[in-house]
Amino acid sequence: MRKFIICLLFFAALSAPAAPWTQEVYVWQRQSSPALTQALDAARPFVAGFQFLGAEVSWSGGKPQVFRPDLDFAKLAKLGRPVGLVLRIGPYPGPFLPDDVTAQALASLASSLLASARAGGLTPGELQIDFDCAEARLDGYRVWLGALRQAAGKTSLVFTALPVWLRHPAEFSALAHVADGFVLQVHSLDKPTSPNSPFTLCDPAQVRVWSAQAGQVGVPFRLALPTYGYLVAFDSSGKFFALAAEGQPPDWPQGTQVRSVRSDAVALAQLAQALAKAPPPHCQGLIWFRLPVAGDRLNWDFSTLQVILQNGLPVPQLTVAVNWPEPGLAEISVVNTGQITEPPPAQVSLQWPVNSPPQAADALGGFRLDLKNAENQAVLLNANAAPGVFLVPGSRLPIAWLRFAHATPLDAKIIAPAP
């Protein structure tokens, strides 16, 4: 009889339906704003859940310094989607003990965060711990997670994991089995080694390798994929010295070489489709980092993410538009008619009839007008090429105007994309 029951349980497990594939999004804003409210409303129909930054811990003299965003839990409950809260913990060297002052402070913070959410009318779907632990300290981190597991109570406890941790299968497996699941963060903030070195925020081929390894642990997990970009600054000799990921670009010193690194929307859309079609073992979905909000220059536009959330491939498309506000006056603009934020092109060609040259002309928007190519042709060169300058879908960048004696046929087209 015992063998029969075991066999029934085994076949029941084989026939049990797989968990539904989900796509969620991180909300990492530290302050509420009308733009954030608008972004949440736009995302709500397309995502399975939200993961909000709930608290962030930094360390000063070994003591925790806590920042908590001003979350309106009652409003979050009205989103109509599962909401998780993320506890971000800054770098900490140890020691990792189950009941020392540090562990008690973190456990107390976790309990307080969950209690505040419930008091505000929100039942958190999970508590996610985001701590970039050193590889050699995974056993210590497991001790911390045990204390946080108790603090979380009945709330699901999840942690973010780095791919390098997979190089320690025994330690990582022990860590993972303390929690209810983990999120494998497969995007990187490693800096390029030089202004011209190849670099990608997320390598789809490597993601497949890491997710297959993570699936061997036997614990439910999700993958965190990037929507963001950042600026990397090098001095005049090519040595890295700064990174900017949010807000307005810094006032770089003279001679600074700035490189823009952005996540590849098309490649990640293809990866998302492939993963949804054939998920790695125990992989339950994706969490996109982070929610696109109007004014976030280095993030995707929401229209890009929306296409991907609907299992589509976003299309890049820049065109040149010629507008005639009055007879003889041509205004030239680059228009993003696609679904991906893109930098302005490197070169735009203008051509008019041989016997109808412009009487006056000038370039705009960081472009330079070169009239020397031919009598009836000009080339607009992107002399600015400023990293961080992009056209979001639906936007327009005026790049030149030309004054003719009368209405004149004018052909305008992109002849060289951005490098």
For strand 22-27 and strand 283-289, is the pairing parallel, antiparallel, or unpaired?
A: parallel
How does DSSP assign 198-267, residue by residue? ---S--HHHHHHHHHHHHTT-S-EEEEEE-BEEEEEE-TTS-EEEEE-SSSPP-PPTT-EEEEEE--HHH
pLDDT tens per residue across span 233-267: 899 888 988 888 776 778 888 888 888 889 999 99
Contacts of 12-18 with C-beta under 8 Å, sequence gap 24+, read: 18/279
pLDDT tens per residue across span 349-379: 999 998 899 999 999 999 999 987 667 999 9
Q: Half-sphere exposure (CA, 13 Å, Cβ side) for 400?
A: 29
Residue 366 DSSP one-character state? T
Give, rounded to a whole angstrom, the gap between the first and last alpha carbons of the chain. 70
pLDDT tens per residue across span 117-161: 999 999 999 999 999 999 999 999 999 999 999 999 999 999 999
Distance CA 288, CA 193 (A): 26
| Structure tokens, 119 | 């008091």
Hunting for tokens 């890491």 — which residue is that?
Answer: 210
What pLDDT sits at residue 402? 96
| Structure tokens, 18 | 């797989």
Q: Does the structure show a pLDDT above 60 at 52?
A: yes
Give me the count of residues in the chain. 419
Give the strand order in the sheet containing 347-351. 367-374, 377-382, 347-351, 411-416
What pLDDT sits at residue 246? 74
Smallest CA-to-CA distance from 32 within 66, 71, 68, 67 is with 71
Domains in the chain: ranges and CATH: 19-309 (3.20.20.80), 318-416 (2.60.40)
- Average per-residue pLDDT in the chain? 91
Q: What percent of the chain has pLDDT over 90?
A: 78
Whether residue 70 contacts residue 116, with contact meaning beta carbons closer than 8 Å, is answered with no
Burial code (b: 16+ CB inside 10 Å, e: under 16) for 268-277 equals bbebbeebee
Q: Does the structure show a pLDDT above 60 at 16?
A: no
- pLDDT category, 13, cuts 50, 70, 90? very low
Distance CA 24, CA 380 (A): 42
The rounded Cα 363 to chain-centroid distance in angstroms is: 34
Mean pLDDT of 207-231: 96
What pLDDT sits at residue 328? 95
Cα–Cα distances (Å) from 58 to 89, 129, 210, in that order, read 7, 14, 29
For strand 221-226 and strand 283-289, is the pairing parallel, antiparallel, or unpaired?
A: parallel
What pLDDT sits at residue 387? 63
Distance CA 47, CA 43 (A): 6
Q: Does the structure show a pLDDT above 80 at 183?
A: yes
- pLDDT category, 15, cuts 50, 70, 90? very low
Q: Does the structure show a pLDDT above 90 at 170?
A: yes
Question: What amino acid occupies position 82?
Answer: P
Which has more confidence, 13 or 171? 171
Distance CA 274, CA 223 (A): 13
Alpha helix (H) ranges present in 252-343? 265-277, 302-309
pLDDT tens per residue across span 305-339: 999 999 999 999 999 999 999 999 999 999 999 99
Q: Does the structure show a pLDDT above 70 at 8?
A: no
| Structure tokens, 118 | 């419930």
pTM value > 0.85: yes
Q: Does the structure show a pLDDT above 90 at 59?
A: yes
Q: What percent of the chain has pLDDT over 70?
A: 93
